[in-house]
Each structure stands twice: as C-alpha cells, then as structure tokens.
Chain A
Amino acid sequence: MIPLLGLVGGVLVGLLWGPDVPLFLQPYLPIAVIAALDAVFGAVRAVLDGIFNDKVFVISFLANVVVAAFIVFLGDQLGVGAQLSTGVVVVLGVRIFSNVASIRRHLFGA
C-alpha cells in the first residue's frame, strides 16, 4: 500500500508542481524513465517472490538510472548516442517484459 501511495503521490507532485527539466538533462529522461520502470517491476516481482529488500531496491533504482544516463552521455560524446540508447532500451525492455511475465504468473497463475 505504501509503495502505491508513494508512486501516486510522486506522479501528483510532478503533475502539480511541474518543474521545467533543464535542457541538458532532457536527453537522459527517456532512458531514466525506462530504467526506473525496470527497477519498479523488479521490486514488484521481488515482493511477490518474498525476497524484497528496500536497500536493494533503492540502490538498484539509483544505479540503473545513473548508469543508463551515463551510457547515453557516453554515446553522445562518441557520436553513437542513438545506438546506445536503443541498446539500453532493448535490454531494459526485455527485463521489464520478463519481470512482468513473472508477476503475471504469480498473480494469475498463468
């Protein structure tokens, strides 16, 4: 319940407060969002598996976002930002899908 409240609260704060993201951070936003989603789905699966750990969740969340942003930054510096972004999206997307599949198996047994 608390995580759901926190998520909704965060979305509301973002919608109501709505601060402008600085321009230099904008290229990293899509990747950061996907990395955050990956961490959230991983956490949900860990909860259902009964092995959730808050410290692991926070650290994996931060590390995912930072590493994803760093990869995009590195790609931009090397001139292959689009390709590296695609790679990050593919890897995180696959992880999100298989985590969601596992969650689905837990919840619906199918």
Chain B
Amino acid sequence: MTPDQRRHEAPAPPTSRPGRRPDESMTLLTSILERPLDPGYAAAADRREAAGLPRSTGTRTMTVLVATIVTGLLLSLGALALRRPSTSAQKARAELISQVESRRTAVDKQSAQLHTLQDQVDSLQSEALAAGQGDQAQQRLAVLGLAAGADVVRGQGIRLVIDDAPGSDSASADGNPRTQGKTDDGKVLSKDLQVIVNGLWQAGAEAIAVNGQRLTSQSAIRFAGEAILVNFRPLTRPYTITAIGGSNALQTQFAASDAGSYLRALQDNYGIRASMTSVKSLTLPAAASLTVRSATVPRPTGGPTTRSTPRSSTTTSETSP
C-alpha cells in the first residue's frame, strides 16, 4: 500500500491541534499537489470492495475502449486543427521573404546591367567623339562627367567614417547626459550628413560618395523614419563618406570650415564618432540614377556628334533636398 492510498483513507494527519493543519491556509495548493488523483477512483474502489467485488474493474471493457478512442481522436484533432494556423502564417512569411529576396536579386541584376550598358554607352561615345576629331568635346565631356557623377572616379582623397554615439542604441537614460532628453540624441541625422557633405564640397572635393552612393547635384540626403536615405537608398551605420581631392588640402580646409567645427561640436556634445583618414587611391562608383534629359545637336563648327549631358552638370553643393 502506497503512502498516497493511506492518505486517501486517513485524510487528517495527526497534529498537535486536531482539526487544524499547520498549512490550512494553503489547502488548495496542498490538495492539488498531494492528491492529484480524482478521489472518485478511491471512492468507487471502496464501494466495490464493500459490495464484494474486486477493487478495480480492469481495463478490458467496452467503455474504456470507446473512451480511449475518443481521447485519441481529440488529441489528433487538436494537434491538426491547432497546427494549421501557424503553418499558414509561416507559409505567408516564407513567401514574403522569398519575394523580398527575389526583388533584391532583380535589383542587383538590373543595376549590374545598367552599369554594363553605361560602360557601353561611354565607349561608344568616346569612339564617336574620336572619329569626329572632337578633342575639345571629349575633354569637356570628361570634366562634365566627373562633375555630374556619370563616370567612375579614381584618385587620392579622404575617407570620413561617422557613427552613432556608443550606447545610443540602448535607451539607457542613466548617467549619460545625452540620452536624458531624447533617446536618439547620439544618432547621426540626415542634417549632419548634409552639413558635412556640403563642407567637403566647399573644401574642394571633386567627387563624394556616401556608403558607395555617389553624390550628384540631384542627390538628396534625407530621413525616412529612422534610416538615412541617399539617392533614395537606405543606408546603415557607420556612414563612410569618401571624397576625392587633394587629401591634405581637403582635410585642412574642411577642418577650418563651418562644417568642420560642426563635426567637432557633434563629437564633443553628442559623442558621435568620426574619424578622417587620407587615402592614396580611392575609387568612387558612377551614379546610377543619371538619365539624359536633354540633348542638342552641336553647332556645325564644333564636334560632329551629339553632345549629350546629364540634366544638371554643375558641381554645386546643393545636396539638401
């Protein structure tokens, strides 16, 4: 006889004060934990014993068979019915993921195609210009292409890496004076990038790219929610600004400019991390979003070919929208 059965038969254990248990206030928990078995079994067994039958009816009865079949049915039905919603949600999710991935590869493929086509156009252009003794036109095209961001540029320059303040991700308002007011005080804003890029233009940069996105006169550095968009592509931190130009002159002029002091103020007051290095050889990609909006036939005295220019071909510092 197990201890449990003894407890069924003598439910009140002897205590110093009969009728009161020391854990009386927890009878619910005690009964749940100590007597999980339905007391009906014990009661029925006692009745059967009193009637002279064996305590147990045994498990080989029709009732048990039917009840277990119903139980199994319930279990499998429950499993089937409750698993289906999660699988359909997973299916939708997987479908969305595959859609995102296929679109992304399509974009990559198309931009690669765009670059090869641009190269083709460039070579055809220079061929045509060379055939028509358009030396002047070719030089002009090179200068304009550099300024408009239509060509890949190589040369020495500087690399400026800007990152959010350390710990600005975790919204900890303790001890950090910058995270007290707003939680995103230590974040690089689109305005910061605009000021810095404009300062670099002022300091004499010939070409600038942010995270590999070449800036043209049509580029916009904007905010979309939490992300900074350049050329309508969202960027992730850290922000790497590469600028082509005389690296020493760029660095000194930028440091002396308003943008330089703005950057220092960002570092001092907000803890934004920035590091500037001069690089011997930089390669900036061509801007992908240039289209020919207007083309004119040159004067007969000039080159014999058409002169095609991107819509705006000046190197201004209008990078803000």
Contacts and interface: CB of A to CB of B under 8 A. Distances in A.
Interface of A: 1-15, 18-21, 26, 29-30, 32-33, 36-37, 39-40, 42, 45-47, 49-61, 65, 91, 94-96, 98-99, 102, 105
Interface of B: 2, 4-5, 32-34, 36-38, 40-42, 44-45, 48, 55-61, 63-82
From A12, A36, A102, residue with most partner B Cβ within 10 Å: A36
21 contacts: A2-B64, A3-B68, A5-B68, A10-B68, A10-B70, A12-B72, A14-B77, A15-B80, A21-B77, A36-B75, A46-B56, A51-B41, A51-B55, A52-B56, A53-B44, A54-B63, A57-B67, A61-B67, A94-B32, A98-B32, A98-B33
Contact of A49 (B33, B41, B58, B65): B41
Leading 3 A-B pairs by shortest Cβ distance: A10-B72, A14-B76, A6-B68
Nearest to B80: A18
Contact of A51 (B45, B75, B78, B82): B45
B56 A21 contact: no
Nearest to A31: B78
Contacts of B59: 1-3, 47, 52, 54
A60 B40 contact: yes
Contacts of B4: 49, 102
Contacts of B2: 49, 105
A13 B41 contact: no
Contacts of A18: 80
A56 B63 CA distance: 10
A49 B80 CA distance: 33
B37 A6 contact: no
Given A47-B56, A52-B58, A56-B40, A10 B71 contact: yes
A12 B79 CA distance: 12
A96 to B, nearest CB: 8
Tell me which of A19, A47, A56, A95 has the highest count of chain B C-beta atoms within 10 A of its own C-beta. Answer: A56
Given A6-B64, A19-B77, A32-B78, A61 B71 contact: yes
Given A40-B71, A94-B33, A51 B42 contact: yes
Contact of B69 (A10, A30, A52): A10
| Max chain A Cβ within 10 angstroms of own Cβ: one of B4, B41, B80 | B41
Given A6-B72, A13-B69, A54 B36 contact: no
Contacts of A46: 37-38, 41, 56
Q: Which of A5, A26, A49 has the most CB of B within 10 A?
A: A49
Given A10-B75, A13-B73, A33-B75, A53 B68 contact: no
Given A39-B71, A51-B45, A51-B55, A26 B81 contact: yes
B5 A11 contact: no
A91 B56 CA distance: 27
A1 B38 CA distance: 22
A91 B32 contact: yes
A32 B78 CA distance: 8
B80 A14 contact: yes
Contacts of B77: 14, 19, 21, 29
Contacts of A33: 74-75, 78-79
Interface centre among B61, B65, B76 (most CB of A within 10 A): B76
A46 B55 CA distance: 11
Contact of B57 (A30, A52, A59, A60): A52
